């Protein structure tokens, strides 16, 4: 055995795996960034229809070329209660089918090896994409360039891996060693362990394809390695699930059970096939007959066939799988730990573009909480109605919590590889969250004014109450326009909000003037009047902070 040849082959294989992994990450990131808004809308459509869930998982994974990313997203959605375990399970089924797209691309790239191969043609996209990224000034252009570069590098890495496998195949000692590993269970375990180490079933499947094409292993060996890669692909989900809540752990477990079940099913079928044919038939011989003279296509098609069949078996058993996961990971009595994020989860940081959209949803929820507390405060001071004071206090605690946690999350998210648009949005959230927290503080001030009036056994006059309710109506209208502007980047809604904000300024001046008039007439005491003036000024500041939230869209409109 030539030690130098072996060393060169090992280094080439390592380099090829590295390039392939980087290419997968580059494609995944840019595809995710380019399709994040559509992807989030897609996930939002998940209903109780199992086939819809499978379709979403398939399309989502095919769109961003990463079943791991989709699975982690699903775990995050389950953990925050947006998605049920049954819905998550069906998406995972579809995701496993979607991940076979990479294997099909690899198989396609390995045709024409005796002339100008498709690998060489596809690899050229790396240069084309690099030029587009270099000269493009828009997010869309850079994302397109990144996708093409990643796609091209995928085949550069594939070419290097194939070259290494050819070198190994030329060494009789290596071929003899690999040929001796014929035990299906051992091959599955090797495939699972290697995938767990690489953390990419796509890379493991691609390595198996190149090994089959170069004759380093036979098709049956490649099939069992590929089956093992499905189990190894669960490692990413298990890691994400273990750091999250009970339902997130259950989702990761369902993913593992689904893949193990598929492997066990196919190993039993392979055994039955071999025994019934007297050892003449196996999955390998079947796919050789179905796809002759194309070993790369034989393994890629088995990979798709395996995941589609496993999905058909698991789909009717979804409820049972969920029940098994719930029994294996029982519900624990969780102590009330206080407020928590409703739409965000730490695991979502692995998919930054989707996390940015979820951050926006969480901020919109914070805005709803802030305006709700303002309305409660007005109810308290105009009617001396304290029936919702406990809800008011709990909401104020939650606003303070969100102020701290969303800022922390935004900082962590800003350190990710985001598009220019998402970077601008994340920068704007720091001011937005602070503005919303201040709205809550002013509502708290208004309740304190009510407490002061109650201690004095005093109240506002009917005219004063009428003006306060008019102010509340203006603020509510302002909030409706700001909410619409912020959610949809609607500049027309922002213009209407600015008009209402000017009306609030005018009303504040009018309230002060009317207050002085009432003092002169003696219909209002100075003590009550001071609370009234403070309330008017606080309401006007609430409007200012809401307008600040709306103005952030100016830097985001393309």
Q: Which domains does the chain have, with CATH numbers?
A: 3-328 (no CATH), 348-555 (1.20.58.220)
Q: How much is the pLDDT for 115?
A: 46
The DSSP code for 525 is -
Q: What is the pLDDT of residues 105-157, one digit of tens each?
A: 888 877 655 545 667 777 888 899 899 988 887 878 888 888 889 888 888 88
Give the lowest-confidence range in 96-110, 457-471, 474-488.
96-110
Mean local confidence (pLDDT), 512-538: 81
The DSSP code for 351 is S
Q: How much is the pLDDT for 46?
A: 64
Q: How much is the pLDDT for 365?
A: 94
64 vs 452: which has the higher pLDDT: 452
Q: pLDDT exceeding 70 applies to what percent of the chain? A: 92
DSSP state string for 468-485: HHHHHHHHHHHHHHHHHH
pLDDT, mean over the chain: 86
Query: Which residues touch 242 (CB under 8 Å, ≥6 apart)?
Result: 249, 252
Indicate whether 473 pLDDT > 90.
yes
The helix/strand/coil state of 418 is coil
Q: pLDDT exceeding 90 applies to what percent of the chain? A: 44
35 vs 173: which has the higher pLDDT: 173
Q: How much is the pLDDT for 331?
A: 77
- Are the C-beta atoms of residues 53 and 311 closer than 8 Å to each other? no
Indicate whether 515 pLDDT > 90.
no
Indicate whether 395 pLDDT > 70.
yes
Which residue, 109, 95, 93, 117, is CA-closest to 23? Answer: 109
Mean local confidence (pLDDT), 24-30: 76
Q: What is the pLDDT of residues 62-101, one digit of tens each?
A: 767 677 777 777 887 887 777 888 988 999 999 999 888 8
Indicate whether 334 pLDDT > 60.
no
Could you give the CA distance from residue 349 to residue 522 in angstroms, rounded to a whole number?
61
- Are the C-beta atoms of residues 146 and 26 closer than 8 Å to each other? yes
Which residue, 497, 535, 523, 530, is CA-closest to 379? Answer: 535
Give the lowest-confidence range in 163-177, 315-329, 385-399.
163-177
Could you give the CA distance from residue 36 to residue 46 in angstroms, rounded to a whole number?
16
- Are the C-beta atoms of residues 213 and 222 closer than 8 Å to each other? no
pLDDT-based confidence at residue 35 (cuts at 50, 70, 90):
low
Q: How much is the pLDDT for 40?
A: 60
């Amino acid at each position: 055995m030539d030690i130098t040849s072996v060393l060169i082959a090992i280094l080439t294989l390592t380099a090829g795996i590295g390039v392939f992994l980087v290419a997968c990450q580059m494609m995944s990131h840019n595809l995710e960034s380019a399709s994040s808004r559509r992807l989030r809308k897609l996930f939002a459509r998940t209903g109780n229809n199992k086939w819809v869930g499978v379709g979403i998982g398939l399309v989502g994974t095919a769109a961003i070329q990463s079943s791991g990313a989709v699975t982690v997203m699903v775990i995050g959605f389950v953990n925050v209660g947006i998605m049920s375990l049954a819905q998550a399970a069906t998406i995972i089924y579809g995701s496993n089918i979607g991940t076979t797209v990479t294997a099909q691309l690899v198989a396609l790239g390995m045709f024409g090896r005796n002339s100008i191969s498709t690998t060489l043609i596809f690899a050229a996209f790396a240069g084309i994409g690099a030029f587009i990224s270099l000269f493009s000034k828009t997010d869309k252009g850079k994302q397109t360039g990144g996708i093409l570069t990643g796609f091209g590098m995928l085949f550069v890495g594939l070419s290097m891996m194939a070259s290494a496998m050819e070198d190994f195949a030329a060494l009789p000692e290596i071929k003899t060693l690999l040929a001796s590993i014929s035990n299906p269970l051992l091959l599955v375990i090797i495939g699972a362990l290697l995938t767990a180490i690489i953390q990419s079933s796509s890379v493991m499947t691609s390595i198996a394809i190149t090994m089959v094409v170069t004759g380093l292993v036979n098709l049956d060996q490649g099939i069992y390695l590929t089956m093992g890669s499905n189990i190894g692909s669960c490692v990413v989900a298990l890691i994400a699930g273990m750091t999250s809540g009970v339902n997130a752990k259950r989702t990761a477990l369902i993913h593992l059970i689904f893949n193990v079940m598929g492997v066990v099913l196919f190993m039993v079928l392979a055994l039955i096939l071999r025994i019934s044919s007297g050892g003449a038939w196996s999955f390998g011989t079947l796919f050789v007959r179905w796809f002759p003279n194309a070993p790369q296509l034989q393994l890629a098609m088995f990979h798709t066939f395996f995941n589609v069949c496993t999905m058909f078996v698991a789909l009717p058993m979804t409820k049972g799988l969920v029940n098994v996961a719930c029994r294996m990971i029982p519900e624990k009595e969780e102590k009330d730990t206080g407020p928590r994020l409703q739409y965000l989860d730490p695991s979502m940081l692995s998919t930054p573009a989707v996390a940015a959209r979820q951050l926006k949803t969480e901020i919109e929820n914070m805005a709803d909480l802030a305006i709700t507390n303002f309305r409660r405060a007005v109810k308290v001071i105009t009617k001396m109605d304290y029936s919702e004071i406990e809800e008011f206090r709990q909401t104020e605690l939650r606003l303070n919590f969100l102020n701290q946690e969303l800022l922390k999350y935004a900082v962590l998210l800003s350190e990710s590889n985001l598009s220019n648009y998402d970077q601008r949005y994340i920068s704007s959230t720091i001011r937005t969250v602070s503005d919303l927290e201040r709205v809550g503080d002013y509502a708290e001030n208004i309740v304190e004014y009510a407490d002061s009036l109650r201690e004095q056994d005093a109240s506002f006059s009917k005219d004063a109450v009428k003006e306060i309710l008019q102010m509340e109506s203006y603020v509510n209208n302002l909030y409706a326009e700001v909410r619409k502007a912020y959610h949809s980047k609607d500049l027309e809604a922002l213009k209407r909000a600015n008009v209402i904000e000017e009306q609030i300024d005018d009303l504040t001046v009018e309230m002060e003037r009317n207050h002085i008039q009432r003092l002169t007439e003696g219909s209002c005491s100075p003590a009550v009047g001071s609370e009234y003036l403070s309330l008017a000024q606080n309401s006007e500041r609430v409007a200012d902070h809401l307008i600040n939230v709306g103005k952030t869209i100016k830097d985001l409109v393309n």
